[in-house]
Amino acid sequence: MLLLAVGVACAGCGSSGTAKKTPPGPSTLEALHSISGTSVPILSVTHPAKGVARGYVFVAQKGGDKGTAGGPLIVDNQGRVRWYHQLTEPLQATDFRVQTFRGKPVLTWWQGHSNKAGVGQGEYEVFDTSYRKIASVKAVGDGLEGDLHEFQLTPRGTAYITAYHEVPADLRSVGGPKDGWIYDSVVQEIDVASGRLVFQWHSLGHVPLADSLEANHEPARHATKKRPLDYFHVNSVADAPGGRILISARNTSTIYELARDGSIVWRLGGKHSDFGPPSAVRFFYQHNARLHPGNLLTLFDNGAIPKSEPYTRPLELQLEPKTHRAKVVKVFAHPEKLLSPYEGNLQLLADGGAFVGWGGIRRVTEFTGDGTVRFELKLPFGDTYRGYRSTWEGHPSNPPAVAVDGDTVYASWNGSTDVASWQVLAGSDPAHLKQIASAPWNGLETAIPVQTSAKLVAARALDRSGTTIGTSAPVDR
């Protein structure tokens, strides 16, 4: 049983291949008429929005079974899609969210493919409010590729990323072979504009192999180049006060604060915690560690694979750096006591509430400050590595799109957050189009019944005040 549990643990922490997949079908995907070759995941609201924070929901839907694409999605409180960036299988996206670059809001995500160990190989995308790529970040160094676990922009115009590097290692100290192989977890800070490496840190040389919860278990005992020992498994990186860096390592169940010279300032959790009491820093296989003003630390305590806790706990901890004491302030536990096998995040909201992505469980949930569920959304298949609630104004540079199938007109404007309603125009030529129907916006593609014998049809987008904001090119009926 232990062999199976530890093997799955390595495979799960961001993998697309270990979660039970729902075969995509008519109830999980909607094929669009107006955007050729695109099928949008159908998300469902399991708990209606009530008193939620402003903004949209941001998830990166992983693909389903072979041949089924996924991609980043912007979704409203009714589960309707505002923007979808479909990827081609086997490409996938993780960590889709709104960040700030050069003082302006941008969309960011990792894009690439991952292996069964949950290790990604890809790059990091930055898109502006018109959905144009303005930057792409790659790992620096021979043999290093950008991993799926983190892409955190900083106010300095840099980005933190993660990478995994297979290296030969003597593993006899942790029950493995002398000529074994190991994953060295690498943290890099890269200047986004130039691609220049600003900072680099390696787990090897700073964290002993024996600190790993994988020590003396599988796969340490039989670690090979094909299946290296993932003793550390870095999964989040962010700024900490005083120019320091906060990182999370799943397989040591420890959060670390690093100095700029690479030395470890303190450890929280794991085998050698510098903070106590033990009851406050007891968490397992955590993700998404973040420090907030006032020494408040948040993390997503998975507690699973192997099962170490009865349920997953998105946590707020109050740290006392001088006395090295920690205190649990809040736990945003799901009422169903969900136990997430891997991935996940906790986002604090301005009103004291929180937004939680459950990682390997394909749900995202919004809580009030007292831990009451006020919204929940379910993905149709796969999962999303993290989930977020953010405000966003999108203004696509391309015009609206339209298609006609029999007596139905299909209108879309992928990414526009201003469209409130549609008008259908029809006529014999582009200079003589008149309105023949209208309908409120109802998702990425709105179906509008029409009755016309006109040769050409177009769609006109209106905002909430009824002002025209865009018109499609006319198409033959």
CB 18 within 8 A of CB 11: yes
Task: Please choose, from the candidates 333, 224, 245, 322, the residue with its C-alpha nearest in 3D space to the C-alpha of residue 289.
Answer: 245
Q: Which of 160, 161, 106, 95 is nearest to 133 (CA)?
A: 106
Residue type, 226: K
Phi/psi region, residue 251 (left: phi>0; alpha: psi -120 to 50; beta: rest), is: alpha
Mean pLDDT of 96-111: 98
Residue type at position 211: D
Tokens of 288: 């998404």
- Say which CATH superfamily domain 2-390 falls into: Kelch-type beta propeller (2.120.10.80)
- Tokens 């994953």, residue? 183
CA dist 311 and 334 (Å) reads: 9
Does the structure show a pLDDT above 80 at 466?
A: yes
pLDDT in tens, 247-256: 999 999 999 9
How many helices (H) does the chain have, and how many strands (E)? 1, 35
For residue 282, give the 3-state DSSP assignment.
coil
Q: What is the mean pLDDT of residues 41-70?
A: 91
User: CA 282, 285, 289 angle in degrees (round to 5)?
Assistant: 80
Q: Confidence band (pLDDT; 50, 70, 90) for 63?
A: confident
Give residue 257's pLDDT band: very low, low, confident or very high (50, 70, 90). very high
pLDDT, tens only, 23-55: 555 589 999 999 999 999 999 999 999 999 999
Q: Per-residue pLDDT tens for 317-328?
A: 999 999 999 999
CATH number assigned to the domain covering 401-476: 2.60.40.10
pLDDT of residue 68: 73
Confidence class of residue 90 from pLDDT cuts 50, 70 and 90? confident
Residue 361 tokens read as 């469980």
Q: What is the mean pLDDT of the chain?
A: 94
User: Does 22 score more than 60 pLDDT?
Assistant: no
| Residue bearing tokens 């079974």 | 65
- β-strands 456-462, 421-427: how paired? antiparallel
Task: Say yes or no: do domains 2-390 and 401-476 share a fold.
Answer: no
Contact 391, 52 (CB under 8 A): no
Tell me if 409 sits within 8 A of 437, measured CB to CB. yes
pLDDT digits (tens, 9 = 90+) for 140-187: 998 899 999 999 999 999 999 999 999 999 999 999 999 999 999 999
Tokens at 317, concatenated: 């901890």
Token representation of residue 337: 């006591």
C-alpha distances in Å from residue 337, one per residue of 9, 14, 194: 20, 21, 45
- Residue spans per domain, the chain: 2-390, 401-476
Q: SS3 of 422, please?
A: strand
C-alpha distance from residue 277 to each of 206, 240, 265, 272 (Å): 24, 22, 18, 12
CB atoms closer than 10 angstroms to residue 275: 22
What per-residue confidence (pLDDT) applies to 89?
84
- Backbone φ, ψ for residue 209 (5° rounding): -60, -35
What band does 139 get if pLDDT is binned at 50, 70 and 90? very high
**Average pLDDT of the segment spanning 334-346:** 98
**pLDDT reading at 20 higher than 80:** no
pLDDT at 219: 87
First to last CA, the chain: 62
List, for residues 268-282, the tens digit of each pLDDT value. Answer: 999 999 999 999 999
> What's the average model confidence in pLDDT over 428-451?
97
In angstroms, the Cα distances linking 355 to 27, 122, 149 are: 26, 27, 18
Position 26 scores a pLDDT of 58
* Rounded-to-integer distance, Cα 106 and Cα 131, Å: 9
Q: Are 353 and 255 in contact (CB under 8 A)?
A: no
Contact 10, 118 (CB under 8 A): yes
Cα angle for residues 338, 344, 348 (degrees, 5° grid):
100
Q: Which contiguous run of DSSP H or E holds residue 7?
A: helix 2-12
DSSP string, 186-236: EEEEEETTT--EEEEEESTTTS-GGGSTTTTSTTGGG--SSS-B-SS-EEE
Please check the confidence at residue 4 and state whether its pLDDT lies above 70.
no
pLDDT class of 128 with cuts at 50, 70, 90: very high
Average pLDDT over residues 344-355: 98
Kindly indicate the confidence band of residue 188, based on its pLDDT and cuts at 50, 70 and 90. Answer: very high
pLDDT in tens, 193-225: 999 999 999 999 999 999 999 999 988 999 999
> How would you list the strands of the sheet with 387-390, edge to edge?
81-84, 71-75, 56-61, 387-390
Over residues 88-105, mean pLDDT? 95
Q: Quick check: helix, strand or coil at residue 330?
A: strand
Task: Say which DSSP state 12 is in.
Answer: H
Pairing of strands 354-357, 56-61: unpaired
- With beta carbons less than 8 A apart as the criterion, state whether 94 and 426 touch: no
CB–CB of 437/424 below 8 Å? yes
What's the pLDDT score for residue 27?
81
CA 344, CA 342: separation in Å to the nearest integer?
7
